[in-house]
Chains A and B, each alone.
Chain A
Amino acid sequence: MPQITYREAIRHALAEELTRDPNVVVMGEEVAQFNGAYKVTDGLLATFGPTRIVDTPISEAGFIGLGVGASMLGIRPVMELMFWSFYSVAFDQILNNAANVRYMSGGQINCPIVIRGPANGGTNVGATHSHTPENVLANHPGVKVVVPATAYDAKGLLKSAIRDNDPVFFLENTILYGDKGEVPEAEYVIPLGKADVKRVGADLTIVTYGRCVIHSLKAAEVLEKDHGISVEVVDLRTIRPLDFDTVLASVKKTNRVLIVEEQKPFASVGTQLAYMIQREAFDDLDGPIHRLATIDAPAIYSPPVETEQLPNPGRVIKAVLAAMA
């Protein structure tokens, strides 16, 4: 099976869906002539032309709102946010209009829009560019939220997202863009709302998603080798809809849970998970639910310190040992 990068996997998904459905339009800042700020859309303009691959001004509220409006008439816009951090300037369009218009119209309208782009810290760009808003987004009924960790997942999930009839917010990761993984040449899709057990284990379940999956897998290897602890890693892949059955099955098997997330702790995705686990698996737990999150402060710039502010394999190992103690 060919190895391609996470970036290429997303590009292939875009290209396949652009080919399959003439209503799909890719739109965003620098996506066309510049070939993408992070080169995700590299070459798409040459293949599909300026009607399908559209450069926008730096005007997130304007162009995201335009995409929402166009989606009400059946266009399937795939909007790139250069950083998901910029969602704050388009908040009204994303979370009032896209999220609510179906409900407020009594189900007469749907918005088949995808908004995608990177949402991560760890690149020393400071607090304004390092937001991870998946909890904020998922707090809004009506939207779907996807956070892929691997090239294979990114491609299959993005194809599903583009075909979905609800608004889907797709959160990528600049640090993962260059990571290679096996991706089949034959077409495939991965349904939204389906978690994936990335590593089978017996002693403790790590529930995680996004780049923290990679940290957790690295930590799990060390824990197995150095400490004899067998860790199961459950990758949620989609935050909403949530495949809680897979989480529950793993927790009932290992009886111990650590949630790992690149989120600020207060009211995070992990907060919701912890509530649900205690509610539905209380008697299966051999200890309290543990969580490893980003250290609770705005993203620090200082490069070596930012690495320590975020979850990383070393911090995951410590957190697992604490949970097993």
Chain B
Amino acid sequence: MSKKPSAIADIKAESAVKATDYALAPINAALSPTQRIELYRTMIRIRRFEERSLRAYQGKNPSGGTNIGGFLHLYIGQEAVAVGCCSLMGKNDHVITAYRDHGHAIAVGMDTKPLMAELYGKITGCSKGKGGSMHYFAPDKNFWGGHGIVGGQIPLGTGLAYALKYQGKKGAAMAFMGDGAVNQGAVHEAYNLASLWNLPVVFVIENNGYSMGTSQARSSAGQLAKRAEGYNMTWGQCDGHDVYEVRALMDKHLTLAREQSRPSTVEIDTYRYRGHSVADPDNTYRTKTEIEEYRNKKDPIQVSLHKLLAEGVLTETLADQIDAEARAEAESAADFAEASPYPTPDDIQKDVYWESDHPAQRKSEGRLFFD
């Protein structure tokens, strides 16, 4: 969490991220100045939302209780991945991810007020206070969660791709997972099905180097994305600190899915500055120096800001204004969440069955609930 009032003040020395051919790809060259600024704006909106949610987590509500319960897996440091990928979504493209889902939710266009209210467990939350941090959903924005079990969402994402193909829609599913998920069996079952049945899905490994507190070197044999080869899938890798790199790589893979109905895997190198969740004291498995190194040299927001200033797309004044707006938005989301009511005990048994939520259309009989 930055204590500095200005985004500009965060700019460090020349970014260590070097532009490759990816960054110069036509998909990026075609971006208008406004679109470039919007990518930056979405990243900084995610950053400020996450920082505000952490403050809320650490604070107390007016009654002295917790504002936010359970886990809070922050996306700080990884913003370029979700923003880069989701910026490529067409109307038939779908997204599903794991429990570090706030960035994706904002990147697909969800309003931050109900997102913050969900963290607070309020009825105005995007899942009516029934899902929490790990379970954001927005089917109207083709966003299918927000899933708590490592790797468990990957067969679901493959099913989204299956449905697209079955319905003859030209689109793709993006199934996000962390680097720890590649060791789950369900992921490999999904890889096999996707390749066997030519499903339009891109498996996106957001490699932040740590599956919770276990480093990649201590948990995974071999290159993560290369496992795709065993399933006859192509794969790619890029630096996830540069939103343009992410877009260029993903564009290739999304095109493969949409045009040829072939699955593939991408591995996007990224880094989280905060612990696995807020419950992680973050003092056992990596050094402060390492974290600082990423913050200072590879921060996706700084990388982007630096480029936009160099390109003359953004001025320092405008950058400060965007940051101030992002902070104000996060503050306003927290105000909304605080002012919203909790669900009532009567809400507990709503949203369990489609049928009990639609009593006029119910066809079954008998008791659905027990005491």
Contacts and interface: CB of A to CB of B under 8 A. Distances in A.
Interface stretch (A28-36, A92-100, A256-264): A92-100
A105 B159 contact: no
A2 interface: no
B83 to A, nearest CB: 23
A242 B367 contact: yes
Residue of B94, B148, B189 ringed by the most chain A CB atoms within 10 A: B189
A142 B363 contact: no
A242 B131 CA distance: 27
Interface in B314-371: 349-355, 357-358, 363-370
Contact of B139 (A56, A67, A103, A108): A108
Contacts of B145: 101, 104-105
Contact of B144 (A51, A61, A72, A191): A72
A69 B155 contact: yes
Given A70-B160, A101-B145, A108-B139, A241 B368 contact: yes
B57 interface: no
Given A73-B164, A93-B186, A107 B159 contact: no
B338 to A, nearest CB: 19
Nearest to A246: B366
Nearest to B131: A104
A142 B353 CA distance: 5
B255 to A, nearest CB: 21
Contacts of A103: 130-131, 351-352
B158 A69 contact: yes
Interface string A138-177: 0001101000000000000000100111100000000000
Contacts of B148: 96
A294 B121 CA distance: 44
Contacts of A59: 189, 192-193
Contacts of A93: 152, 155-156, 186
Nearest to A69: B159
Contacts of A66: 155-156, 158-159, 162, 190, 193
Contacts of A48: none
B163 A75 contact: yes
Contacts of B154: 65
Nearest to B343: A106
A26 to B, nearest CB: 13
A73 B163 CA distance: 6
A74 interface: yes
Interface string B133-147: 001011100001111
Nearest to B368: A241
B356 to A, nearest CB: 9
Size band of the interface chain B makes with A: 35 or more
Nearest to A144: B364
A244 B367 contact: yes
A64 B196 contact: no
Contacts of A238: 364, 366
A62 B193 contact: yes
B85 to A, nearest CB: 18
B363 A73 contact: no
B368 A240 contact: yes
A285 B144 CA distance: 50
B353 A109 contact: no
Interface string B291-304: 00000000000000
A106 B126 contact: yes
A99 to B, nearest CB: 9
Contacts of A74: 163, 167
Given A62-B190, A63-B193, A192 B159 contact: no
A208 interface: no
A32 B52 CA distance: 54
11 contacts: A56-B193, A57-B196, A62-B192, A66-B155, A66-B159, A72-B163, A73-B164, A93-B186, A101-B145, A102-B353, A107-B350
Interface of A: 25, 51, 56-57, 59, 61-75, 92-93, 96-97, 101-110, 141-142, 144, 160, 163-166, 191-195, 238, 240-245, 272, 276
Please name the 6 residue pairs, one residue from A and one from B, whose CB atoms are nearest each other, closest first. A69-B159, A65-B155, A62-B189, A193-B366, A107-B351, A106-B128
Given A75-B159, A96-B152, A104-B146, 16 more contacts: A62-B190, A65-B154, A66-B155, A66-B193, A71-B159, A72-B156, A73-B167, A102-B352, A104-B130, A104-B137, A105-B135, A106-B126, A109-B139, A163-B363, A166-B354, A192-B363
